[in-house]
Chains A and B, each alone.
Chain A
Amino acid sequence: MRRFHALALTLSLLSAAAIVAGPVSASASAPSRSGNTTITLMSHDSFAASKKVMRAFTKKTGVTVKVLPSGDAGAAVNQAILTKSNPLGDVFFGIDNTLLSRGLDAGIFEPYTSPELANISKDIQLDPRHRVTPIDTGDVCVNFDRKYFTDKKLTVPQTLDDLAKPEYKGLLVVENPATSSPGLAFLLATVSKFGPDGWRAYWEKLRDNGVKVVDGWEQAYNTEFSGSAGKGDYPLVVSYATSPPAEVVNADPQPDEPPTGALLDTCFRQIEFAGILKGTTHEKAAKQFIDFMLSEQFQEDMPLQMYVFPARDGTKLPSVFVKYAKVAPRPFALPPEEIAKNRDQWIDQWTSTVLG
């Protein structure tokens, strides 16, 4: 019996400690000097930056940024839309061109034309009203396992059409576009390439050629793909053009050559944007942060933090990117409005074609 009281006591003390510790350390991380503001950056779970870079921003502007990871890209955008009457953050980062129209139509962003836009290519400034600002780009491409193709003395496929050829039967794993952002991007690549009338026929060929569909990127890349850690059975996987350099950086010892490569003729270009959330009470600080995200310092930091390409022209790339990260010369693309109009229907059609 005494033991039971000990349990009750321990648990209550620990939870009391938790409750007390919560607010205390939260406020401890925010600077208490008057005049300083804290803004909340709502983003998808993959947002990352060097602590040093974020500190530099705070030092320069007096603004502290608190990051609020809100699920994958789709979930984060939807949360921002659901809470638009009482937003969870001041700035949103991570809405991409496949989701852009949904966010713009929902009216969650405040227009802001950053002076830094002068350094950003017009091609990726998709919203003429500047409700969102392009921050980075990334190509979703089929990746291949070098060793597999060398060992089998098999030519590495190059194009989308190649993937449907019999010599590559049962080698490709893709993500379900209904549950995965790279999966959707790859579907859009095929729609862009084969047109609204032809893409289903292409997927029928892929299906007959034994394409494997899994739920998400983590499973496809880490478990099914043979070229990375999971040592799966599929030497071709839908991933990013920046996955090969990541395989070099995140390995011990680091190899001279990445064990994988990206097929640059299979890529769909994702552009990620940031926007000021309507209803923010820190508009000035929010604008400062958007400017900062486009600054050289932040843009140079991004590649090795999030494995994306900087949006800012002339940004110096880390050497591992220069060596191993290829940019697709002619990536596939679709206008955001067209994606918004057809996405759900395409996913349904894809589901009945490939899984049906």
Chain B
Amino acid sequence: MRAQAATLRADARIGRRRLVRGLMLAVPIAFLGVFFVYPVASIVGRGLTPGGSLDLSPLADVVTDARFRGVAWFTIWQATVSAALTVLVALPGAYVFARYEFRGKRLVRAAVLVPFVLPTVVVGSAFLAVLGDGGPLGFLGLDQSFAAILVAHVFFNYAVVVLVVGGLWAHLDPRQEDAARVLGADRWQTFRSVTLPSLRPAIAAAAAIVFLFDFTSFGVILILGGPRYSTLETEIYRQTVQFLDLPLAAALSIVQMAAVVVVLLVAGRAQGRRAEALRLRAVAETSRRPRTTGERAVVGLNLAVMAVLLGGPIAVLVERSFDTTGGYGLGFYRALSELRRTSTIFVPPVEAVRNSLVFACAATVIALVIGGLAAFAIAGPHRSPRAAGLDTLLLLPLGVSAVTIGFGFLIALDKRPFDVRASPVLIPIAHALVAAPFVARVLIPVLRSIDQRLRDTAAVLGASPGRVWREIDLPIVARALLVAAGFAFAISLGEFGATIFIARPDYPTLPVVIFRLLRQPGTLNFGAAMAASVILMAVTTLAILAIERFRFADIGEF
């Protein structure tokens, strides 16, 4: 009798768990279905049915055309090299952030996100000031080169690797490394056989994200690579926005998606077995001030890399924002609130900042909910094919052209009363489409590293699933959640993704103001655009610092 009742209770619990899990999967799937699959399918579908009936000949043309094959190959190749280079350059930075305390660490950690939000056209002008024919590094001949694309990709994505990998690294128990050293392993052996395996899921996650950003990067290719380089993304832009050749654009989009799926599957396989449970420690226990000269040198060297790579272009922008005709001053900042004040195109800077922040908050909430639910479903103890499918589906928006998604919104989301095409609601949603996979990718490795036995023990002791998540998962993922929230916020502040192609009647944001200023000739317009960029950087840094303030007692709680 009693045994039977216990079984029933257990069944009920399993049933409830399934239901919860099902709901967790349903929300992100519905979101992606409405705001990603449906719009993309609509625009691709329209391209493939030009006369009302299916016509796959453009697809055949693209696949057989040597030029397009070259473009597809270059797209994958440049993204692979860029991502590998970013990981190589940023991994030591992640190490420094994870293991050492130094003055201004918080500020630096917030500031590394700044490049992430800057509009490419603005960064491009700073890069060209340095790399251009007349710049201090002009002799290197990097202007309009493959190398310039690589450097820019590292610049933009450095933070991804530092924060995603550093986030997990900071929780790894250094005593394991110490033990290996005591047993006679040298530094490199220790890193390879102890640290690297534990970090692998986080490195894979960061590399996948950076790869996808580089795979679909658009401004960097056009502005820094110059007109000789084209990728699937720039071709889709050209065919859709300039030529309105929807059949060709659809074919290219399909090739782009296929390439992304193949790469994700290969990467998934390379990542191999599931992340193992790790002994995670509180951040406070794993990092300390550098003690030896060698350690100080490592920290100093990495900070120097950041100062040159990230700080260089940023310094150029800051300098320009003060460099008025009559010497250094605040003229351009004043111009920001005075230029074309009487025009319909004028936006008070305070309003632009407020709009940016409001959209970013909304996008962050959506991304945390969607990405968080997806992460818990995907990383759950029992692997299901549906969850694995969601994993790929969730990453796809990062690998699909912003043009395809943006134009897809236009023709798909026009049914009353859900005609949201010109609604401000669409903007945080479009940002969340980019940010949610990010959130999930940051959370999954950490969730997987949680020892399942901990959860089971808690459940056996009678904790409800909600309680298990609150008491076991949340404290451990708290830090990763903050990293994820910071990125989601930055992605929105930087206006990532399809929003460039969404018409927006109201609520201009800081990037919109920057673009408006850059569109007219005159030193004041340019200077004010620089000033607006500096404000965007400051807002980003402050916002990230504020998010970091919501620091939990790390994992010291358990």
Chain A residues engaging chain B, CB cutoff 8 angstroms = 1, 3-4, 6-7, 11-12, 14-15, 17-19, 21-22, 25-26, 29, 40, 42, 45-52, 54, 66-72, 74-75, 78-79, 81-83, 86, 88, 102, 176, 178-179, 213-219, 221-224, 228-230, 232-233, 239-240, 243, 246-247, 249-253, 305, 307, 344, 351, 355
Contact = CB atoms under 8 A, between A and B. Distances in A.
Given A70-B503, A215-B227, 7 more contacts: A1-B478, A68-B505, A82-B407, A179-B227, A223-B132, A233-B132, A250-B523
A169 to B, nearest CB: 13
Given A40-B505, A51-B344, A78-B240, A22 B521 contact: no
B503 A219 contact: no
B128 A68 contact: no
A52 B342 CA distance: 7
Interface string B339-357: 1101111100000000001
Nearest to A49: B344
Given A7-B485, A21-B358, A45 B519 contact: yes
7 contacts: A1-B553, A22-B425, A22-B507, A26-B424, A29-B506, A47-B345, A216-B121
A67 B339 CA distance: 20
Contacts of B500: 71
B184 interface: no
Interface string B416-450: 00010111110010000000000000000000000
B257 interface: no
Contacts of B227: 176, 178-179, 213-215, 351, 355
Interface in B244-259: 244-245
B521 A51 contact: no
B335 interface: yes
Nearest to B362: A15
A242 B365 CA distance: 45
Interface of B: 121, 124-125, 128-129, 132-134, 222-223, 226-228, 237-238, 240-245, 324-326, 331, 335, 339-340, 342-346, 357-359, 361-362, 364-366, 368, 407, 410-411, 414, 419, 421-425, 428, 474-475, 478, 481-482, 485, 500-501, 503-507, 515-516, 518-527, 547, 549-553, 557
A54 B515 contact: no
Nearest to B547: A7
A14 B515 CA distance: 26
A252 B330 CA distance: 12
Nearest to A6: B550
A228 B522 contact: yes
Which one of B343, B474, B506, B551 has the greatest number of beta carbons of chain A within 10 Å?
A: B343
Given A230-B526, A250-B520, A75 B550 contact: no
Nearest to B485: A7
A193 B105 CA distance: 61
A7 B550 CA distance: 6
A105 B368 CA distance: 45
Given A11-B361, A74-B242, A215-B227, A223 B503 contact: no
A102 B244 CA distance: 9
Contacts of A249: 522
B241 A71 contact: yes
Contact of A179 (B238, B340, B522, B553): B238
The 10 closest A-B CB pairs, nearest first, are: A250-B522, A229-B526, A14-B361, A7-B550, A48-B345, A15-B362, A215-B222, A246-B521, A18-B358, A229-B523
Contacts of A52: 342
B552 A224 contact: no
A227 B32 CA distance: 48
Nearest to B506: A26
Contact of A218 (B121, B344, B362, B478): B121
Given A102-B244, A253-B326, A18 B362 contact: yes
B343 A179 contact: no
A250 B339 contact: yes
Nearest to B229: A355
Contacts of B474: 1, 4
Tell me the dominant secondary structure on chain B's binding face.
helix
B212 to A, nearest CB: 22
B423 to A, nearest CB: 8
Contacts of B121: 216, 218-219
Contacts of B223: 214-216, 219
A18 B410 contact: no
Contact of A222 (B133, B343, B518): B518
Contacts of B524: 250-252
B521 A239 contact: yes
Nearest to B501: A71
Contact of B422 (A25, A68, A102): A68
Contacts of A78: 240-241, 244, 407
A241 to B, nearest CB: 11
Contact of A224 (B128, B481, B520): B128
A54 B346 CA distance: 14
Nearest to A243: B521
Given A26-B506, A45-B515, A179-B242, A250 B124 contact: no
Contacts of A222: 125, 518, 526
B232 to A, nearest CB: 15
A251 B343 contact: no
Nearest to A259: B523
Contacts of B358: 14-15, 17-18, 21
Contact of A75 (B241, B335, B357, B368): B241
Given A71-B241, A228-B526, A219 B521 contact: no
Given A14-B362, A69-B504, A251 B523 contact: yes
Contacts of A232: 128, 132, 134
B344 A83 contact: no
Contacts of B551: 3
Given A14-B362, A223-B125, A224-B128, A67 B335 contact: no
B220 to A, nearest CB: 11
A219 B474 CA distance: 47
Given A75-B501, A224-B128, A48 B324 contact: no
B344 A54 contact: yes
Contacts of B226: 213-215
A216 B519 CA distance: 10
Nearest to B416: A86
B243 A344 contact: yes
Given A233-B132, A249-B522, A252-B524, A79 B407 contact: yes
A19 to B, nearest CB: 7
Contact of B505 (A6, A18, A66, A228): A66
B125 A219 contact: yes
A88 B421 contact: yes
A19 B519 contact: no
Contacts of A179: 222, 227, 237-238, 242
A1 B552 contact: yes
Contacts of B339: 250
Which one of B326, B339, B358, B475 has the greatest number of beta carbons of chain A within 10 Å?
A: B358
A246 B520 contact: yes
A287 B331 CA distance: 43
A297 to B, nearest CB: 14
Contacts of A102: 244
B244 A81 contact: yes
Contacts of A178: 227, 238, 242
B552 A3 contact: yes
A12 B368 CA distance: 11
A223 B224 CA distance: 12
A45 B359 CA distance: 20
Given A3-B552, A251-B325, A15 B361 contact: yes
B133 A219 contact: no
B361 A252 contact: no
A74 B335 CA distance: 30
Nearest to B359: A18
Nearest to B523: A229
